[in-house]
Amino acid sequence: MANNCNFNDPLYIHPSDTPGTNLSYAIALRAKNKIALIDGSSRRPPVGSPTLLQWERCNALVLSWIMNTVSNEFFGGIIYASDASKVWTDLKKQSDKINGSRVFSLHREIGRLTQGNSTVSTYYCKLKQLWDEYSALIVLPSCECDTARKYLEHDCMSNNIGFFSS
């Protein structure tokens, strides 16, 4: 294989890319230019392809990163996996189910949160933390329909909650 260093190629492995690296899923995979290995856009090359071994190395590296980040309950289900994209898709399905329950719980916590004996700043920080977590879990529709517009308006209003604004 030629010694071309294309740092933008998802099959490029940087010296700091080690199997033991603990990553925060998609953010770090995007930063390391390995997102193509989980979103399916970098598929396994056919047998005999000059990039097959490099793809397998990168795929194994991404798999090890995922395995080093998941909880024990998920680890058992992916230990024998051989395709990072398939593992990612499966974990995303499981995560979406968990996130749905968390969104419901967040709605309840936000609605029940009171200042009580807390300072205004403590109350504000807790409320902001709940809204930030909610915003991270919710994927807003991207179409131009009336329902999407209402979702976006609601999201803008909820993100503009502020006790210290003028």
Tell me the per-residue pLDDT of 98-108, one tens digit each, with 9 for 90 and over.
667 778 888 89
**Burial group, residue 51, by CB count within 10 angstroms (0-12, 13-18, 19+):** middle
Whole-number pLDDT of residue 22: 46
Whole-number pLDDT of residue 55: 92
Whole-number pLDDT of residue 1: 43
DSSP state, residue 44: P
Q: Assign 65 a pLDDT band (cuts: 50, 70, 90).
A: confident
Residue spans per domain, the chain: 1-96, 113-159
**Burial group, residue 59, by CB count within 10 angstroms (0-12, 13-18, 19+):** buried
Q: What is the mean pLDDT of residues 16-43?
A: 73
Question: Among 42, 53, 87, which residue's Cα sits nearest to residue 68?
Answer: 87
